[in-house]
Amino acid sequence: MLEVVVGLVAGLLFLVGVAIMVGPALRRFFGIGRPRKRRLATVRRSARSTSPTELHPTTVKALAATARLLALLKEHSLDRQAAALRMAGKRLQVDEAGGIMAMREVLRHLRSVRLGDESDHKIFQGLVGQLQKELDDRAEQLELLPKN
């Protein structure tokens, strides 16, 4: 009886040793070793996205003014203008030069907006002016504006 137990333990140890040696190849064969692709996808995704710390400080100031302007537009139920401004802001985060041009186009349309409350309208005009100034400063730094 002891010989059978010793034989079973030896056979089990042999199978465990073979499984350990062949284990990495079996994981790849059965597709268990796929976390590498997930890691690469995570690296690609993080390389593509731009965080505000990677943006120029003038652009960050423009995005901050955009956020305050968005809140004011939403408060007055100007959803269409808010959506256009939000899209231009996202483009500014991804493609600075194209975003500046898109944002300037949206600001041209926002100049004709009139808010009902006079104090809100003054705040709105101040934010539009501040955003315009920040965009002009950054466009000048990038040499996007035509020379006079």
Q: How far is CA 71 from the centre of its chain?
A: 20
Q: Are residues 31 and 88 in the same domain?
A: no
Look at the chain and report how many structural domains it folds into: 2
Q: What is the amino acid identity at position 7? A: G
Is residue 31 over pLDDT 60?
A: yes
pLDDT in tens, 84-139: 999 999 999 999 999 999 999 999 999 999 988 899 999 999 999 999 999 999 98
Provide the domain limits for residue 8: 2-48
The stretch 30-53 carries a mean pLDDT of 54
Q: Are residues 44 and 18 in the same domain?
A: yes
pLDDT, averaged across the chain:
84
Residue 24 is predicted with a pLDDT of 72
Q: Are residues 43 and 58 in the same domain?
A: no
53-62's contacts with Cβ under 8 Å and 24+ in sequence apart are 55/93, 55/96, 56/96, 56/138, 56/141, 58/134, 58/137, 58/138, 58/141, 59/92, 59/96, 59/134, 59/138, 61/134, 62/92, 62/103, 62/131, 62/134, 62/135, 62/138
* pTM of the complete model beyond 0.85: no
Is residue 143 over pLDDT 70?
A: yes
Q: How confident is the model at residue 34 (pLDDT cuts 50, 70, 90)?
A: low
Q: How confident is the model at residue 147 (pLDDT cuts 50, 70, 90)?
A: low
Question: Is residue 40 in some structural domain?
Answer: yes
Q: Are residues 73 and 18 in the same domain?
A: no
Is residue 65 over pLDDT 80?
A: yes
Q: Are residues 14 and 72 in the same domain?
A: no
